[in-house]
Chains A and B, each alone.
Chain A
Amino acid sequence: GAVVSQHPSRVICKSGTSVKIECRSLDFQATTMFWYRQFPKQSLMLMATSNEGSKATYEQGVEKDKFLINHASLTLSTLTVTSAHPEDSSFYICSARWDRGEKLFFGSGTQLSVL
């Protein structure tokens, strides 16, 4: 299967700081990438859809000014959690739609802990 790389895998930060998470498709071009949030024992919650070269589309209830998404190239999307607070602590996962069909491949996830 195709490979999606996500970094960092774990980050601990102080309240008020900003954190950037990178998501790269290593062996295919991804015109569409997705960002999810996952709480323990729960399913994936879609936060936003990003298309290369255009603004991200956010799901209802997701603050676009807090969760900045940039999809500047066909292989890289970034999620920046601005002015992070303890309630932003969660597991964040990116995914990329394969360029030869509808398959979706996921990164390994980032555990964010805000102190």
Chain B
Amino acid sequence: QKEVEQDPGPLSVPEGAIVSLNCTYSNSAFQYFMWYRQYSRKGPELLMYTYSSGNKEDGRFTAQVDKSSKYISLFIRDSQPSDSATYLCASSNQGGKLIFGQGTELSVKP
């Protein structure tokens, strides 16, 4: 079992839809949770960073972490064609390696 599991998709939604991206993890020691966005042939860009459980909102993006169920979510409201990219969830413990999910390819259609 991989330490961080993510459905690779692809996921296709119409413009304006709410997008829900999800990951599960197995290591109870993970405390730091991140979401990255990666455009083709570019480096990943840090979107959201969460420590421990809870919600975090930044503009159209909301990240949720439920440590009791080891579940990580990213919601994108009012999705735009420019949101089309691969989204990677990642987790780590303090000072440890960042473990990535497989990435979900998202396409937002105009």
Interface of A toward B, CB cutoff 8 Å = 1, 4, 6, 34, 41-44, 46, 49, 91, 93, 95, 102-109, 111
Tell me how far the C-beta of B33 lies from the nearest C-beta in chain A, rounded to whole angstroms: 10
15 example contacts (A-B, Cβ-Cβ < 8 A) are as follows: A1-B46, A4-B43, A6-B43, A44-B88, A44-B100, A49-B97, A95-B43, A102-B92, A102-B95, A103-B34, A106-B46, A109-B41, A109-B42, A109-B43, A111-B41
Chain B hits for A107, CB < 8 A = 43
Tell me how far the C-beta of A51 lies from the nearest C-beta in chain B, rounded to whole angstroms: 11
- B36-58 residues at the A interface, CB under 8 angstroms: 36, 41-46, 49, 51
Interface of B toward A, CB cutoff 8 Å = 32, 34, 36, 41-46, 49, 51, 88, 90, 92, 94-95, 97-98, 100-103, 105
Q: How far is the CA of A108 from the CA of B38 in the complex (A)?
A: 10
Q: How far is the CA of A57 from the CA of B100 in the complex (A)?
A: 18
Tell me how far the C-beta of A87 lies from the nearest C-beta in chain B, rounded to whole angstroms: 19
Chain A hits for B97, CB < 8 A = 34, 46, 49
B41→A106 contact, CB < 8 A: no
Q: How far is the CA of A81 from the CA of B48 in the complex (A)?
A: 32
A43→B100 contact, CB < 8 A: yes
- Name which residue of chain A comes closest to B10, CB basis: A41
B100→A104 contact, CB < 8 A: no
Q: How far is the CA of A45 from the CA of B101 in the complex (A)?
A: 11
